[in-house]
A = this chain, B = another copy of it.
Amino acid sequence: MTILKHPDFTTPELANAPDARFVAAPADGVLPEDFFSTTNLPTYVRINGKWLMPREPRMDSALVLGADGLWVKEGRKLKKGDMVAVGSAEDGGEGIYVHSGSFFGEEEEGEFKFMTSEVSREKPIDYAQMAHILIEERDRGGYPIWVTGPALVHSRARADMVWFIENRFVSALLAGNAVAVHDIEAAIFGTTLGMTRTGEATTGGHGLHMRAINKVRAAGSIAKAVEKGVIKDGIMYACVKNNIPFVLTGSIRDDGPLPDVITDSVAAQDAMKKHTTRATMAVLIATALHAIATGNMLPAFVSEPDGTMRELATICVDSSEFVVSKLKDRGTHQAFGVVTNAQDFMHILRLYAERELTERQALKSPTQTSKTPA
């Protein structure tokens, strides 16, 4: 867990920086021409001589000052007249300081080394550490969000995902229609996209996911389908039974969709944001679209109530280096890439989590024999 430092505001550059300048939005959903475009890094805005951090930090948005304080807001949410920070300097020279040094700071590059690429299938994966972070987050009352693609369900990591849900490692599940459809197809018919548990395509199987969708549409919602006994196991079932919130966002690729899907992509982003602003950890598995969408909304750091900051642990799992590189290329520098098969990832991560839990249990409950009186 990397602890991040606040900048030193006593340096002449920052001590003598001017206040940030704010300009009114010219129309609803339109920013002033030279608005400051945010990053996901710790950002400080000088207002009346004080450095403030905005609430709900994320990248590709604007700094908006209102009666209720300083916020990061998407341009489309602005009303005409909202006061928006302007400028492009990130070094405090225009009253805004982006503390990139906390992340990229001190690296020196002047050496001949092997194996310096950031993401590679040739690098070791530290499952023990990832399991440890996850358990720590759960036990400190953190808010780990999981963002998954359908490969998780195709490849029968369903049982492992259910285990993580039931053991309270999942504070919210963000996914698309397909994850829920295939999970429910598996619950009802035992197949995913008509493929059996052992990977065989079946005759007539191409219609089974459509039949699954239709059954949920008939029931009215996933929760009602669980209630009525249409869905009896799986990921969505576990979410409903354990009161874990899920956000199913729509895409043009969706069949159906299921009644729970938020088909409007702007409304869907807002629904996701309710969770990204609370997130203290993110696990992104086998989905380029949802991983990058979530990465766009996540700050790179967590602010604790006591004012300390730490890196927001972000794990991105994919079969190729490409998705993780793409995520980093779009600003989610803190992502830790794991290049492997989603099924295998889930299985081993669970194994290591179970091991650590068993060890912790062993430490907590020493054998009682020592109490035996003489």
A277 interfacial contact with B, CB 8 Å: no
The answer to whether A296 touches B253 (Cβ under 8 A) is yes
A15 interfacial contact with B, CB 8 Å: no
Q: Which of B124, B210, B319, B344 contacts A320, CB < 8 Å?
A: B319
**A323-352 interface with B by 8 A CB criterion:** 325-326, 328-331, 333, 339-341, 343-345, 347-348, 351
The answer to whether B292 touches A253 (Cβ under 8 A) is yes
**A5-54 interface with B by 8 A CB criterion:** 26-27, 29-31, 33, 35-37, 39-41
The answer to whether B250 touches A254 (Cβ under 8 A) is no
Query: How far in angstroms is the closest Cβ of chain B from A189?
Result: 13
Most buried by B among A75, A111, A348: A111
The answer to whether B198 touches A154 (Cβ under 8 A) is no
**Which residues on the B side are within 8 Å of A322 (C-beta)?**
121, 321
Q: Which of B39, B75, B104, B265 contacts A263, CB < 8 Å?
A: B265
A203 interfacial contact with B, CB 8 Å: yes
Q: Which of B33, B109, B249, B252 contacts A107, CB < 8 Å?
A: B109
Q: Which of B37, B199, B264 contacts A206, CB < 8 Å?
A: B37
Query: How far in angstroms is the closest Cβ of chain B from A32?
Result: 9
**Which residues on the B side are within 8 Å of A125 (C-beta)?**
155, 341, 343-344
**Which residues on the B side are within 8 Å of A27 (C-beta)?**
218
Q: Which of B116, B269, B330 contacts A114, CB < 8 Å?
A: B330
The answer to whether A156 touches B124 (Cβ under 8 A) is yes
**How far, in angstroms, from A299 to B275 measured CA to CA in the complex?**
39
The answer to whether B264 touches A124 (Cβ under 8 A) is no
**Which residues on the B side are within 8 Å of A156 (C-beta)?**
124
Q: Which 5 A-B pairs have the closest CB atoms?
A: A37-B207, A340-B341, A250-B265, A344-B344, A113-B201
Given contacts A37-B207, A120-B325, A252-B269, 20 further A-B contacts (CB under 8 A): A26-B218, A35-B214, A36-B207, A40-B112, A60-B210, A88-B207, A111-B203, A112-B331, A112-B333, A114-B201, A115-B193, A115-B201, A124-B155, A124-B199, A249-B252, A251-B293, A254-B269, A257-B265, A288-B288, A341-B344
The contact sample of 24 A-B pairs, CB cut-off 8 A, is: A29-B217, A30-B214, A35-B210, A60-B207, A114-B193, A115-B194, A116-B329, A117-B329, A121-B151, A122-B151, A122-B326, A123-B199, A124-B343, A125-B155, A249-B252, A250-B265, A251-B265, A251-B293, A252-B289, A263-B266, A264-B265, A320-B320, A340-B341, A341-B344
